[in-house]
A and B are shown apart, each in its own frame.
Chain A
Amino acid sequence: MESMIQWRTRLEETALAPVRRTSKRYWALVAVLLAVVGWGLYAYSIQLRDGLIVTGMRDRISWGLYIATFVFFIGISHAGTLISAILRVSQARWRTPVTRIAEFITVVALICGASFVIIDLGRPDRVLNVFIYGRWQSPIIWDVLAITTYLTGSIVYLFVPMIPDLALFRDRLTGRTSRGRAWLYRTLAIGWNGNAVQRRSLAAAIGILMILIIPIAVSVHTVVSWIFAMTLRVPWDSALFGAFFVAGAIFSGIAILIIVMAILRRSYKLHEYVTEKQFVYLGYLLAAFAAIMIYANISELLIHGYKLEEGADFHLRQLFLNDFAPLFWFYLLGGLVGPIVLMLIPATRNIGGVVAAAVLVTVAMWIERYVIVVTGLRVPLMPYEPADYAPTWVEWSILAGGLALFALLITLFTKVFPIIAVWEVAEDQEATIAPPHPASPAVPEFPAPVGG
């Protein structure tokens, strides 16, 4: 049986490998993503020049793809909260290999999500008015406050548990990386050398953050849902929106985490640490949240569908029977029922099945955000014919650019920061091999580290 030291060395080498070596495939991927982001920027420049008339939005349906994508990205950002915080609080040890990626996703998703709100503005040159003239009574200001707080908290929550691994990078990569990078690791590691005082401070900081980030994350997506629920539109006028959106956010966060983890696992050979167990457990979580979403949808739709008040009749028809039926049924069957089925069947209860479920869920959740925004605005308010909305090439291009930016930032992260929480995985491994038992002396199968 190999020693703990050898296991640990292999773990560290795996974590250091992306920074040490960069393959041609990586540069090709970065080039492609940059090209897509560039195309998105070009489309946005057209929009800045000509105004929002280049989109498909008009007076009757005044929000569309941009706001849907904003909500989608903010939803995805709950990946980190669930994995890092909730599972940490509940001391689920299996989460340790995926923790770091989840926190990356959170930060990157928040940045992309916030961008889409600004892209949607008619006068982005006046965005500072939000800070100069901000009205606390407005749901958008709640949104700004919550997202700013969540972004700051997430960056801190990404950084703090990364300190020991950054120290590892600092110590092991000297002379092998550029001076800029060396400075970066040295600065960010803030003098970590693992002594008792530092460990205590770190544990305290992580303890505070993991508890604090949960209510912040819940408040963020609740507040995002209130941008819709504080209006008088029939499909949005629901007390359930806050909880519904938070559940949907965690749901889509798990899905994106599965997808990103699968890609990174293959690219950086993390097979030993991110095993089928992680995927299956995440798949179970996905199925559990799918069930919660089914319950929320039934609550929402059955209550309105039973009574069929004015507006509700039109709305349910457009959802289930008419214009939006294909999208909505795909969301229900593919995105909600699908993961449950895939996890119930033993044949698909593996990495392939879980990733397929995650892809279905991601696409379905974007569709769901789109359907909520557009159908909510489509219900006629006065006696007129309902309007139609179709995104234009500008909107699709900017969506593609946003998704590419998301992928690009994660790709760049993996080249600079440790993608595996080395010290947490190692702790987890040690605990598994030699669980701490106060009565008996520790029986190390490995020599006690003398002199470090």
Chain B
Amino acid sequence: MNHTIPRVARLALTLLAAGAMTVILAVPVLASHLVVRTSFPSAATVGESVSLAVDLGTADGAPLAGATVTYYLHMSFAGVEGEGVIGRAVTDDAGVAAIHYLPRAAGLHEVRIEYLAPDAATVEEVLGTFDVAGGEQLVRSSGGVDIPGINPGLLMAVLGGVWLILLSVAFRLVGIARASGRADPPAGAAPR
């Protein structure tokens, strides 16, 4: 008697566990009848556009066209975490949807792709990551008006010319002063 009950119980538990494990393992397959493959770049650099593709197919391998795909990127700025949409696409006849994305930050990019089959009611998702290396400055700040050709040199040349002419007048005055030794008085000078 003590033998049988533990053995039956053990058998029941084992069967239960096996069943449960089967169920657990089968859930993905049962719930998601779609096959998803993602294609992320192996190496990316800031400022260089990369392609993020996803390939959707039904369980029996047929490509799934017309599914709307939304790409979300995990973002963090000024202490606030969240995610933002970086692209939307629809799978084509081959079941492939891709977006071109220009990475703007360096580091690990965590992408979450949501896809909705044309006849499905619930949205499903797949995650992926790719690494981005640092790059060149993309946006430059300009500090104001810049008219090519008009520069301090031009302005100073014009001004310098004017002042040189004034200087030449000063030299004429020097000449007047210097010539005061000469004696001939002008015609029409006032009588002394």
Chain A residues within CB distance 8 Å of chain B: 4-5, 8-9, 12, 136-137, 145, 149, 152-153, 156, 160, 163, 168, 171, 190-199, 201-202, 204-205, 208-209, 212, 216, 426-427, 430, 448-449, 451-452
Contacts and interface: CB of A to CB of B under 8 A. Distances in A.
CB-based closest 5 A-B pairs: A191-B180, A194-B186, A205-B172, A190-B177, A197-B179
B168 to A, nearest CB: 7
Contacts of B183: 193, 195
B166 A198 contact: no
B78 interface: no
Interface stretch (B5-13, B108-116, B157-165): B157-165
Nearest to A157: B169
A5 B189 contact: no
Given A145-B159, A198-B176, A209 B169 contact: yes
A139 to B, nearest CB: 12
A212 B165 contact: yes
B176 A202 contact: yes
A208 B175 contact: no
B188 interface: yes
Contact of B162 (A4, A149, A168): A149
B31 interface: no
Contacts of B152: 136
Contacts of B144: 137
A4 B189 CA distance: 11
B169 A208 contact: yes
A448 B187 contact: yes
Nearest to B159: A145
Which residue of B144, B155, B168, B188 has the most chain A CB atoms within 10 A of its CB atom?
Answer: B188
Contact of A168 (B176, B177, B190): B190
Contacts of B189: 194, 449, 452
Nearest to B163: A149
Contacts of B176: 163, 190-192, 198, 201-202, 205
A421 B165 CA distance: 24
Contacts of A427: 188
B182 interface: yes
Contacts of A195: 179-180, 182-186
B29 to A, nearest CB: 62
A192 B166 CA distance: 20
28 contacts: A4-B188, A5-B191, A9-B191, A12-B190, A137-B144, A156-B169, A160-B169, A163-B173, A163-B176, A192-B176, A193-B183, A195-B180, A195-B182, A195-B183, A195-B184, A195-B186, A197-B182, A198-B179, A201-B175, A204-B172, A205-B169, A212-B165, A427-B188, A449-B188, A449-B189, A452-B189, A452-B191, A452-B192
A263 to B, nearest CB: 28
B145 interface: yes
Nearest to B191: A5
B155 A160 contact: no
A311 B99 CA distance: 46
Interface string B18-53: 000000000000000000000000000000000000
Interface in B77-107: none
Contact of B180 (A153, A193, A202, A451): A193
B116 to A, nearest CB: 45
A452 B168 CA distance: 31
B94 to A, nearest CB: 54
A369 B183 CA distance: 53
Given A137-B144, A149-B159, A430 B188 contact: yes
